[in-house]
């Protein structure tokens, strides 16, 4: 009988988001202490339609809720009085070293949150030592985003974190090849193919001036007429242009870069991904935006880790907001965690500094949690620290 009343205050905020959103703040207010604080504030810094679009989930929002509540199924068992000398959050992944098990997830059109969009996000990420997966649907050109990262690192006299490019499969294979070549040329070292959002419903119209800069001149498909046999979607051009395992085989032959498959939720698909040459996967239900009722990535994680053995790299996203969320995923077998919507929240509230602060908060929370749990490295985060009621 209709949409369940979710007991989440931000949903209520979304309804009251005013038509004239506040501009980004010049200073980060002292009372912002968590990513949830950014989310609460962000409702006032976006117009109502955009806010609804970025916050929404598919269907009745069950997956959206479950992506948060799944963390409550696990509680934490600390080890006290541990000597934390030499403790570190550093991890190795696909042959490279990262300061923390933390990524910016590929998110479309960051200019929805702030005019500086992806440029601001990658500057913030670089300053905090966090890599960003740049979306095919970025609102700046992928080349400009890569340049911004390198410039930021140079200005801070820091190494630039490795660059990752996320690919949405295009109907025309030539377009896919063109995107990959551009990414390679711009210095991206990883290709992340998103496979769980080939087909989805949306009523949201991009505001004037925001476009998919990487896809200018490329062909895009949507469903307009109904094909044979009363079927609506099946048999349509949209359906026919969706990627398959063959697409992955083609992609594996087309580039030598590490390939990461994003959007896996089962052990079978994880095995197939590895068999088709994927170097890593991202366990994800696309933040609950695609099909309502999909199991949460945290639920799928232990099954996939068991199937893939201890060494295959597993990344994860959808619903991560705190340091203990990250701890729980690592304890269940993830190598690293991607952060999605909070990028938009932090950019809307306080531009580049907001995004950097948001990542600083997460890194600080992760260290604090590890210290309080008495674990000195990500490798020490195992299932022994989890308790289920």
Q: From the candidates 53, 286, 345, 357, which is the catalytic residue?
A: 286
Location of structure tokens 């729980």: 328
Rounded to a whole number of angstroms, the minimum distance from the CB of residue 304 to its own copies is: 11
Alpha-carbon gap, residue 51 to 258, rounded angstroms? 34
**Residue nearer to its own copies on the CB measure, 74 or 312:** 74
Select from 92, 172, 173, 201 the one that contacts its own copies (CB under 8 A): 201
Rounded to a whole number of angstroms, the minimum distance from the CB of residue 145 to its own copies is: 21
Residue 44 sits in the site that holds its own copies (CB under 8 A): no
**Residue nearer to its own copies on the CB measure, 79 or 211:** 79
Residue 310 sits in the site that holds its own copies (CB under 8 A): no
Residue 297 sits in the site that holds its own copies (CB under 8 A): no
User: Which helix or strand (DSSP H or E) is residue 178 part of?
Assistant: helix 173-186
**Residue nearer to its own copies on the CB measure, 46 or 186:** 46
Residue 96 sits in the site that holds its own copies (CB under 8 A): no
Alpha-carbon gap, residue 72 to 352, rounded angstroms? 31
Q: DSSP 3-state assignment of 318?
A: coil
Strand pairing partners for 72?
none
Rounded to a whole number of angstroms, the minimum distance from the CB of residue 211 to its own copies is: 23
- At residue 312, φ and ψ (nearest 5 deg) are -70, 130
Q: How many residues bind its own copies (CB under 8 A)?
A: 109
Residue 235 sits in the site that holds its own copies (CB under 8 A): yes
Select from 108, 300, 336, 338 the one that contacts its own copies (CB under 8 A): 300
Identify residues 267-296 at the interface with its own copies (CB under 8 A). Answer: 268-269, 272, 290-296
Q: DSSP 3-state assignment of 327?
A: helix
Residue 259 sits in the site that holds its own copies (CB under 8 A): no
Rounded to a whole number of angstroms, the minimum distance from the CB of residue 215 to its own copies is: 21
Residue 85 sits in the site that holds its own copies (CB under 8 A): yes
Residue 10 sits in the site that holds its own copies (CB under 8 A): yes
Alpha-carbon separation of residue 144 from 64, 187, 216 (angstroms): 33, 11, 15
- At residue 94, φ and ψ (nearest 5 deg) are 50, 45
Q: DSSP 3-state assignment of 141?
A: coil
Torsion of CA 136, 141, 147, 150, to 10 degrees: -30
**Residue nearer to its own copies on the CB measure, 186 or 331:** 331
- For residues 56 and 289, the answer to whether their CB atoms sit within 8 Å is yes
Location of structure tokens 């098990």: 101
Sheet holding 102-104, edge to edge: 102-104, 336-339, 314-316, 280-283, 259-264, 190-194, 164-168, 133-134
Residue 100 sits in the site that holds its own copies (CB under 8 A): yes
Alpha-carbon gap, residue 133 to 182, rounded angstroms? 15
Residue 36 sits in the site that holds its own copies (CB under 8 A): yes
Select from 25, 76, 94, 151 the one that contacts its own copies (CB under 8 A): 76
| HSE-CB of 188 using CA atoms within 13 angstroms | 30
- At residue 24, φ and ψ (nearest 5 deg) are -60, 150
Residue 106, both tokens: 């590929």
Stretch that binds its own copies, among 17-25, 59-67, 113-121, 177-185 (CB under 8 A): 59-67
Select from 44, 47, 49, 82 the one that contacts its own copies (CB under 8 A): 82
Identify residues 132-191 at the interface with its own copies (CB under 8 A). Answer: none
- Is-catalytic flag, 286? yes
- Sign of the Cα torsion 134, 136, 138, 143 reads positive
Select from 96, 232, 382, 383 the one that contacts its own copies (CB under 8 A): 232
Residue 245, both tokens: 């395992």
Identify residues 358-377 at the interface with its own copies (CB under 8 A). Answer: 360, 363-364, 367-373
- For residues 296 and 318, the answer to whether their CB atoms sit within 8 Å is yes
Select from 80, 208, 216, 256 the one that contacts its own copies (CB under 8 A): 80
Location of structure tokens 């890569």: 146
Alpha-carbon gap, residue 327 to 206, rounded angstroms? 36
Q: Map residues 334-363 to x or -, x wherever contact with its own copies holds by CB under 8 A.
A: -------x------------------x--x
Rounded to a whole number of angstroms, the minimum distance from the CB of residue 9 to its own copies is: 6
Stretch that binds its own copies, among 35-43, 106-114, 136-144, 208-216 (CB under 8 A): 35-43
Residue positions annotated with a catalytic role: 286
């Amino acid at each position: 009988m209709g949409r369940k009343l979710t007991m989440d205050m931000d949903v209520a905020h979304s309804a009251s988001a005013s038509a004239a959103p506040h501009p980004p703040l010049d200073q980060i207010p002292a009372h912002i202490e968590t990513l949830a604080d950014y989310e609460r504030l962000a409702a006032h810094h976006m117009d109502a339609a955009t806010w609804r679009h970025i916050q929404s989930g598919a269907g009745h929002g069950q997956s959206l809720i479950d992506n948060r509540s799944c963390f409550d199924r696990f509680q934490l068992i600390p080890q006290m009085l541990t000597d934390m000398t030499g403790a570190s959050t550093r991890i190795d992944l696909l042959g490279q070293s990262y300061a923390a098990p933390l990524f910016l997830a590929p998110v479309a059109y960051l200019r929805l949150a702030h005019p500086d969009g992806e440029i601001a996000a990658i500057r913030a990420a670089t300053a905090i030592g966090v890599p960003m997966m740049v979306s095919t649907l970025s609102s700046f050109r992928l080349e400009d985003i890569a340049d911004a990262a390198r410039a930021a690192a140079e200005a801070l006299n820091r190494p630039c974190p490795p660059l990752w490019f996320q690919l949405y499969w295009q109907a025309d294979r030539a377009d896919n090849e063109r995107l990959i070549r551009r990414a390679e040329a711009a210095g991206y070292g990883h290709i992340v193919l998103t496979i769980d959002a080939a087909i989805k419903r949306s009523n949201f119209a991009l505001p004037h001036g925001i476009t998919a800069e990487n896809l200018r001149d490329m062909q895009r498909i949507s469903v307009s007429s109904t094909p044979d046999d009363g079927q609506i979607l099946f048999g349509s051009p949209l359906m026919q242009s969706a990627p398959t395992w063959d697409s992955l085989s083609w992609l594996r032959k087309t580039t030598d870069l590490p390939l990461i498959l994003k959007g896996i939720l089962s052990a079978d698909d994880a095995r197939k991904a590895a068999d088709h040459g994927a170097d890593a996967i991202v366990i994800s239900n696309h933040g609950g935006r695609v099909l309502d009722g999909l199991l949460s990535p945290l639920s799928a994680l232990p099954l996939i880790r068991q199937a893939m053995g201890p060494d295959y790299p597993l990344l994860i996203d959808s619903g991560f907001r705190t340091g203990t969320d990250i701890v729980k995923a690592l304890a269940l077998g993830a190598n690293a965690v991607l952060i999605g919507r909070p990028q938009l929240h932090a950019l809307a509230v306080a531009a580049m500094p907001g995004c950097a602060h948001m990542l600083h908060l997460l890194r600080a929370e992760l260290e604090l949690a590890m210290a309080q749990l008495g674990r000195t490295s990500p490798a020490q985060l195992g299932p022994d620290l989890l308790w289920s009621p």
